[in-house]
Structure 1
């Protein structure tokens, strides 16, 4: 079913938003990132192989912290180095001392200017960590602070809802992990992203529109590499469409959250082609047995409810979130929102 989405009184239809235009550029952004950072990625990877970090600490908020979740699964599954997200308040509010000698600190940011992020990175650097920044503003304080910079090259992003910068962050983390691990299959899949991302953006996810057009709550589910895009999708459903969406691992959702699932309860799921995706598929079947409404992007079933296509399991979530961005922009307009200017939000959030 294709839902008709009318233009607003000012003539702004779903394809006229900044969000739509910027999300559509993700393929070009990924091409710029890979071309401009090729030598830097190799240099960083060589250093990390020569001096293996004791741990990886990621720093980011919002979409950037969701990208960090993706990095966690990459670094732990491909490299075997424990990875955790920093609690930024430890440095910015509590001013607590850190011990980080031998650690890799990866900071992820669109603006590179949030005070608590900068304070945290300063603390880790002073404590002996090697700092790598994935940042869209190459002239930002974060870029100046880092030992190595990986500019996202996403270009200006004016919509409050981050899209192409998030995807560029995922591409950057995947490329860093692939170079570090010498994973040729993953590197080949990443190299195809400038072509595959436009294909993903063109896919029609309107089959999920009827269950979400009037919804108030839903779960978004992933596992492993796809958990990060489940988190990102839940955030975008909140900020662009006024939907209370919660993201869960398909393992975690079977605990307390499953108790509130009633007939008609909506679930959006992201299933990769690996074993983690098998568990997402199994959990989705449990939801359907409770008469929940399930829409799933399934890399094993490209013609399923939400069309997608297979690649390396670590790249499939990047393609899925690209398809989702086009869909959620349409959903936002259908629900009477402007995805470019969510209420109460700014492009750069000055948290301390």
Structure 2
């Protein structure tokens, strides 16, 4: 897991070079299509990437985006006819999960434009799609996805940047290799001692970092058998905050954009409850945290969010080992999940 996670920066830089022409063409095609909405299709870590795509599409391309549940197409065969000429972004590492394939085919039968964002460009999902965007992560043997997830986030950012013609986002992508290399070197393992005895915890994000928090919580479950739940730093005050008391760990992945509004006050509340707050973000936002993790704050907020998960994977690996687990082969999990 550690080795593969550290391959992500170079893979992302190479991906942008290899995909430059095809993503430019895909962006042009989507602008000409001018769909009323878009949809995503995914499960597991890929569904956290899909949530990242939704954030990007709605804030940078102003395209409303829904999450299309795989079972709607795979079990119920009830994909709406309103998917005609609507982009369906199907995200999968393997491109082989039966339910995703069935749902993508059902959507294509209804006229959707299926865009496959996959690591395996020769997979059944890629063959089914009208547009294929390879993430070029290379072979990934650890069951816990790391570099494929980071590469998928970069591919989605690239697609939305070309679709929306967002100059700032396109310019930011030029530095993705350097930003992620720095994030991979950032040492978050000081949090291991605070987490190795925990049985449950919250992971908070908002805006671009909410899907990152979702992925972090999923990895803590997968690799450390730690019951972690992700919430928006705004939504957590609507009930879940009552679960947090003295000594409870809270990991905060703070955004670098306007979604940071109110975060400082929220962390003050947690600190007052005696929670063990671990945070990455702008110093003025995360000062109440008992442990502030090193992170880049001088980058585009989208790259800042991707950099946080790159740094987190080093922590997840070390925490798994500290808790006596094997991060490469978690119990009861397989690399390709064959959900029907």
Q: What TM-score results when the alignment is normalised by the length of structure 1?
A: 0.92
CA distance, structure 1, for counterparts of residue 133 and residue 277 of structure 2: 38
The superposition leaves residues 300-336 of structure 1 with CA deviations (integer Å, 9 ceiling, x where unpaired) of 5699711101211111110000000011101100111
Size of the alignment, in residue pairs? Answer: 334
Q: Are positions 1:266 and 2:266 aligned together?
A: no
Distance 1:35 1:214 in 2: 43
Which string of whole-angstrom CA distances, capped at 9 and with x for unpartnered residues, describes residues 151-174 of structure 1? 111000000000000001100111
Once the two structures are superposed, residues 262-300 of structure 1 have per-residue CA deviations (whole angstroms, 9 ceiling, x without a partner) of 111110011122111233443222211211110011045
Deviation digits for residues 125-159 of structure 1 (CA, Å, limit 9, x no counterpart): 11111111110011100010110111111000000
**Alpha-carbon distance in structure 1 between the residues aligned to 2:191 and 2:268:** 17
Contact 1:264 1:292 in 2 (8 A): yes
Aligned to 1:145: 128
Partner of residue 313 from structure 2, selected from 325, 332, 335: 325
Q: Is 1:159 aligned to 2:142, yes or no? A: yes
Q: Structure 1: where are the runs of 5+ without partners?
A: 1-18
> Which residue of 307, 323, 339 maps to 2:294?
307
- Which residue of structure 1 lines up, in the alignment, with residue 86 of structure 2? 103
CA shift in 2, pair 1:261/1:34, >3 Å? same
1:209, 1:228 → 2: CA distance?
22
Work out the CA distance in 1 between the residues paired with 2:270 and 2:236: 10
The aligned counterpart of 1:119 is: 102
CA distance in 2, matches of 1:249, 1:272: 11
Q: Report whether the alignment pairs 1:57 with 2:39.
A: yes
- SS of 1:294's equivalent in the other structure is strand
What value does the CA root-mean-square deviation take over the aligned residues? 1.4
Q: In 2 relative to 1, CA 241–30 (structure 1 residues): closer, same or farther, beyond 3 Å? A: same
Does the aligned pair in 2 maintain the 1:219–1:268 contact within 8 Å?
yes
Aligned to 1:234: 217
TM score, norm. by length of structure 2: 0.95
Q: What is the match of residue 189 of structure 1?
A: 172
Instruction: Say which SS state the counterpart of residue 314 (structure 1) adopts.
Output: helix
Residue aligning to 2:23 = 41
Match of 2:55 among 70, 73, 93: 73
Describe the SS at the equivalent of 1:108.
strand
1:336 counterpart (297, 304, 324): 324
Whether the 8 Å CA contact 1:272–1:300 is kept in 2: the answer is no
Matched, 1:282 2:281: no
In structure 2, what is the equivalent of residue 349 of structure 1?
337
CA contact (8 A) 2:73 2:107 kept: no
Unaligned runs of 5+ in 2: none
- Quote the Cα distance in structure 1 between the aligned partners of 2:58 and 2:222: 30
Alignment of 1:82-97 (within 5 A): 82-97=64-79
Query: Closer, same or farther in 2 for the Cα pair 1:249/1:31, shift >3 Å?
Result: same
| Contact 2:71 2:99 (8 Å CA) reproduced | yes
CA distance in 1, matches of 2:123, 2:24: 23
- Cα deviations by residue, 1:187-219 (Å, 9 ceiling, x for unpaired): 121121112111101111123222201000000
Q: Which residue of 1 aligns with 2:11?
A: 29
